[in-house]
Every structure is written in structure tokens, then in C-alpha cells.
Amino acid sequence: MATVEVPEYEVVDQVELSAKETAIIVVDMQNDFVKPEGKLYVPTAQATVEPIKRLLEKARKAGARAFYTQDTHYDNDPEYEIWGEHVRYGTWGWQIIDELKPQEGDIVVVKTRYDGFYGTPLDDLLRVYGIKNTVIVGTVANICVLHTAASAALRWYKVIVPIDGISALTDFDLHATLRQVSWLYKGIVVRSVDGIVFK
């Protein structure tokens, strides 16, 4: 066993974003990850539901777009060998949680890997709508959230991650993710969804 410390990273209290150039990307807030009965339950995910809900309400009111990624697996998926069967297409566990159910005008992107851009139309859709800023929330921080944030940054979108909008299986995983977003991807880590201001 080894113990390491996460290097310091910058956290801001507030960030102002152009609503028309900003997309909220809600990553994998599905029953299998968020609910205790789920097959890959993340205990801290439930605490992010209300902050994400507040962020979505504020974003929609301001005119920002909301995108959801929906992790999806089928028969004999190779990921089952890593994680066991989870978010199998069409099951209860695959569904986005009722508390954050997509609304009219929101876009759901089905993905089969950790990265929300891999093999999906997400990049094309963001460009169609003139998006420059991606506010990324959801679960699991160091897996699907981080891979999606990385792909956004590599495509030159600005990445913003509110701490209370993401969840992980360990504190290390959470803070290692935020360190990568801040340091490697030159993104913005904001303390809370309440510090995101749309103009």
C-alpha cells in the first residue's frame, strides 16, 4: 500500500459564463450509480442530486443548454469483465434518475465507454449550438466525469467543474480529478454550483 497527497489546485468561489455559449453536461446520473439498489452504487452521488438540480434550473432559465450522457451496455460488453453487469440497455438501472429527468429541449447522448465524446455526436452537437464552455457534473469523478472533461478540453472547450456537483468512490479520486481539471486541462474548479453565474 502507498499513500500520496494530491497537489494543491486552485478553487474559485464564482465564475461568470455566457449562457448562450455554455452547456451543462450531466454525466451518468443513472439509477445503477446513484441509487442504493443500483449495481455500481456510488454512496456520495445522492448528495450531488440537489446541487445538480439547482444548476440545471438556473441554466435553463438563463438559456444555457443541458446535455446528459447515458452510459449504456449490451450483451457480452467487455466492461462487464471489469465492473460486472451495469446500466444494461433498457433496465431500471440504465435510466436517468427521476429527480434529474431530462426536460424538453435537453439532449441525451448515449455512450458505451467512459468518455462522453467517444463514438457519440456530442462534439458535433456542441459546435452546432456554438458552445464554448462545458460545465461538467455527475459521476463517477475519476472515471466518466474525468474522461469526458479531458475530451472536452482536448477539443478546446473550456471546462468548469463545481465540487458539489461531482461524486467519487474515495476522497482521493475526487480531488485527483479536480487537480487534473485545474492543472492539466486549465479548467476552472468552482466551490459550488451556486457560484456559477450566467449572463
93-117 confidence digits (pLDDT tens): 999 999 999 999 999 999 999 999 9
**Binning pLDDT at 50, 70 and 90, where does residue 57 land?**
very high
Which of 111, 115, 158, 164 is labelled catalytic? 111
32, 71, 115, 144: which one is catalytic? 144
In a domain, 181, yes or no: yes
Calpha distance 177→140 (Å, rounded): 10
Q: Where are the alpha helices (DSSP H) in the chain?
A: 31-34, 49-62, 80-83, 122-128, 146-154, 171-179
Domain count, the chain: 1
* Residue 9 forms part of a structural domain: no
The CATH number of whichever domain residue 22 belongs to comes to 3.40.50.850
Q: Is 28 marked active-site?
A: yes
Residue 4 lies in a domain: no
Domain of residue 160 covers: 15-198
Q: Is residue 5 part of a domain?
A: no
The catalytically annotated residue of 28, 71, 164, 173 is 28
Let me know: does 178 contact 167? Beta carbons within 8 Å: no
Segment 184-197 shows an average pLDDT of 98
The question of whether 111 is a catalytic residue gets the answer yes
Report yes or no on 6 lying in a domain: no
Residue 3 lies in a domain: no
